[in-house]
Every structure is written in C-alpha cells, then in structure tokens.
Amino acid sequence: MDNGYWTKFEVKTVTPNENIPHGIKYSLTLHNPYNKRILGYDNAHGIKSKRKKFGAKRTTWDHKHERKIVEAYEFENAGQLLEDFWTDVERIMIEEKGE
C-alpha cells in the first residue's frame, strides 16, 4: 500500500474436517510499516467462545485478531470473508490517519 502498510494472504483448500468444515484454511493479515500485524482473519487455531459460565463451551477456529483483541468470526463464504477483511482494512486506515 502507498502508506507503508501491507497485506498478506495465505489460502489453501483442505479436506473439510471438524475444525474447518468449509475446507478453506486461510490467513488474511494487515501489517503496519513496522511489520506489526494489526488485523488478521484466520483459522489456524481454535479459540474458546465467550459465553456465560453455565453455557456450553464451543471452540471455533474461524476468528479475527484486531490489535490485541481476538473474537470469533462467522465464516459464510470466501466472498464475504474478503469483503469483511477489506471493510476492516479501510476502517483501520481511516483510524490510523486520525480522520
């Protein structure tokens, strides 16, 4: 990107399984000019959903990292994933400019 920020996509098809039922293993990331990841969508590892203490605990693999916050991501399809990622990139670029 012209401001020193850059993106990286790693995507491959895999045999659908319990953790990756849609058969797409992915990592979409946005990095600042100092190579620090500030946004990432991936399914490289499981995360526990944030539920009340008496709710069923579910581990999800599709998730989003934004700076230090990690939250579950509801994967619908590859097109929606790209749209969500670029929407967040655009928002973060505006925030970084201080507008």
Confidence tier at 99 by pLDDT (50, 70, 90): low
DSSP string for 11-41: EEE----SS-TTSEEEEEEEE-TTS-EEEEE
- Please state which of the ranges 14-18, 21-25, 43-47 shows the lowest mean pLDDT: 43-47
Average pLDDT over residues 4-15: 96
Task: Using the predicted structure, report yes or no on whether residue 97 has a pLDDT greater than 60.
Answer: yes
DSSP string for 55-73: SPP-EE--EEEETTEEEE-
Q: Please tell me the total number of residues recorded for the chain in this structure.
A: 99
Over the stretch 37-93, which tens digit does the pLDDT of each residue have?
999 999 987 776 655 555 555 567 899 999 989 999 999 999 999 999 999 999 999
